[in-house]
Amino acid sequence: MEYSIKELSEMAGVSARTLRYYDEIGLLLPLHTNEAGYRFYGEKEVELLQQILFYKERGFGLEEIKSIVYEKDFDILFALHSHLEELENQKHRLEGLIDIVKKTISAKKGEREMCDKERFEIWKEKVIQENEEKYGQEVREKYGDVSMEEATQKMRDMTEGEYGKFKTLEEEILARLKEAVTQGITPESKEGKQIVLLHKDWLGMTWKSYSKEKHLGIVNMYVMDERFTAYYDKEIRGCAEFLRKSAVYWIEKL
């Protein structure tokens, strides 16, 4: 079975212009092109387009998708299982957020009581869900699902006091980074060392075990991923880079 570019466009809900662009960048080549220049696609190309659309839905860029689907050992069945797992995770996160909002609305309307402990648990779950939405994909890709799930579970198991300490540490790190960058303090300074120690303690509250390699990987990700960078640099530009440089200098010396 072969499809013209118009037929594939209509079937997949992707514009012909997009399919031509995918051809131009080498992401989705047609099975063949006739003498008149019309592109035709076969079963293999249809399967590949499905994978491209799945990865796009998961937030991957086109160059990243291209490197994945053209790997020598790319396994479509394995990729489908990966897509299914991510979609199920998204479903779980959405269901959790829906439940939180419903409970809060119900309490606001006076239909149910909500004790302080429950309010805390609901707020903590909301933070967990938001972190997963913002950063879960990058962390899972770099360190695996197990590491992400362990960190999430450790946060769920935190008492109100432990969670308060966790947030206080986070705020102190951000404040000291802002001050260090503003005052022109160098990452190799004692203040840079202190910030790295605070960051180590903060990470340790959600990690099963600490490793210098993983710590360095995390701070490198802060500057490589624009969402992490935006979080640390939301008030003063350069905070994420200061933390990275401080960690690179001090971690092996701790």
Domain boundary among 70, 102, 127: 70
Could you tell me the residue range of the domain that residue 147 belongs to? Answer: 76-156
Residue 41's CATH number: 1.10.1660.10
pTM above 0.75, yes or no: no
Nearest to 51 by CA among 80, 78, 31, 71: 80
Nearest to 253 by CA among 209, 189, 184, 174: 189
Tens of pLDDT, residues 127-150: 787 777 777 777 777 777 777 788
Placement of tokens 């387009």 in the chain? 49
Distance of CA 98 to the CA centre of its chain: 21
Do 108 and 58 share a structural domain? no
Tens of pLDDT, residues 94-128: 787 788 778 878 888 888 877 767 767 767 777 78
Placement of tokens 């419903």 in the chain? 102
Q: Cβ contacts of residue 150 below 8 Å, gap of 6+? A: 207, 208
**Number of structural domains the chain divides into:** 3
